[in-house]
């Protein structure tokens, strides 16, 4: 296993795939009734690692039926075009993010001014933040096949529109597994946080979205940056959301 990447089985039919690049970015593979759904696509553009994981769990890349993109930031889009070509999976995203994913528009810029989390090393931080601020670091473009709205379903997942980090940001809830896929609205790296403040475009929307996803009462919170939160971490996140104030 290359140390740049890691994957583990979080629970029945749920796999976490991570890599160091892109700010410890994570993607998630859901296996339900024989069908595979991937949430986000890591940073690498060759998608080789995701294909390797699919094979390690005894499946083939052509078994991938759905790819859901939480939002159109570079770290989450790297492998999308390659995976679409290899799998012919249906690509799902919110309409607002879709033309960015398709390469027709740059991601909305964020401010230059560095904010929390300060503990991210400058080597990681500057490419991420300045890349977004400048619209650099384009991903291989890929058309979105289907638009997702709040309340829609893909496989066992219920879609929840959670704007704030970006206007078309989506979260998903897998009811049977009490698992919330929170995208970048929550982060566990470099520490447990309600997302990375510098990257949240609309703080009021982000605050409202956090309360919306808290109502699912998840046991596992799988996030875009860092390992999934479980147990005590989930309790801490519930408290953080309760005590958060819109500013």
Residue at token pair 């583990």:
8
Q: What's the Cα-to-Cα distance from 97 to each of 41, 106, 156, 208, 242, rounded to whole Å?
A: 15, 10, 23, 19, 29
Quickly count: other Cβ atoms within 10 Å of residue 96's Cβ.
18
Query: Contacts with Zn ion: how many residues (CB under 5 A)?
Result: 4
Does residue 136 contact residue 130 with C-beta atoms inside 8 Å?
yes
Closer of 36 and 72 to Zn ion (Cβ) = 72
Quickly count: other Cβ atoms within 10 Å of residue 112's Cβ.
11
40 contacts Zn ion (rule: CB under 5 A): no
Tell me phi and psi for residue 186, to 5 degrees.
-135, 150
Residue 101 tokens read as 């994913």
Closer of 56 and 126 to Zn ion (Cβ) = 126
164 contacts Zn ion (rule: CB under 5 A): no
Which residues, 133 to 162, sit near Zn ion by CB under 5 A?
none
Q: Write down the least CB distance from residue 63 to Zn ion, Å.
A: 26
Closer of 61 and 72 to Zn ion (Cβ) = 72
200 contacts Zn ion (rule: CB under 5 A): no
Quickly count: other Cβ atoms within 10 Å of residue 71's Cβ.
27
Of 184, 210, 218, 223, which lies in the binding site for Zn ion, with binding defined by CB under 5 A? 184
Question: Which stretch, 46-54, 77-85, 186-194, 223-231, contacts Zn ion (CB under 5 A)?
Answer: 223-231
Please report, as ranges, the residues that interact with Zn ion according to CB under 5 A: 73, 75, 184, 224
């Amino acid at each position: 296993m290359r140390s740049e990447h890691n994957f583990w089985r979080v629970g029945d039919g749920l796999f976490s795939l991570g890599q160091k690049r892109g700010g410890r970015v994570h993607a998630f593979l859901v296996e339900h009734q024989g069908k595979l759904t991937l949430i986000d696509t890591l940073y690498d553009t060759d998608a080789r690692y995701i294909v390797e994981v699919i094979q390690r769990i005894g499946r083939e890349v052509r078994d991938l039926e759905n790819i859901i993109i939480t939002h159109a930031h570079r770290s989450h889009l790297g492998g999308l075009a390659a995976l679409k070509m290899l799998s012919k999976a249906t690509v799902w995203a919110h309409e607002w993010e879709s033309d960015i994913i398709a390469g027709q528009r740059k991601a909305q810029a964020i401010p230059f001014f560095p904010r929390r989390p300060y503990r991210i090393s400058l080597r990681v931080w500057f490419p991420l933040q300045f890349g977004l601020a400048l619209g650099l670091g384009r991903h291989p473009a890929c058309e979105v096949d289907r638009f997702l709205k709040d309340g829609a379903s893909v496989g066992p997942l219920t879609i929840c529109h959670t704007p704030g980090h970006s206007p078309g940001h989506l979260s998903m809830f897998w009811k049977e597994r009490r698992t919330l896929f929170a995208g970048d609205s929550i982060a566990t790296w470099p520490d447990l946080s309600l997302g990375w403040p510098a990257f949240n475009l609309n703080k009021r929307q982000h605050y409202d979205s956090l309360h919306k996803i808290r109502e699912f009462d998840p046991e596992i919170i799988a996030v875009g940056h860092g390992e999934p939160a479980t147990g005590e971490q989930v309790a801490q996140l519930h408290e953080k959301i309760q005590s958060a104030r819109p500013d």
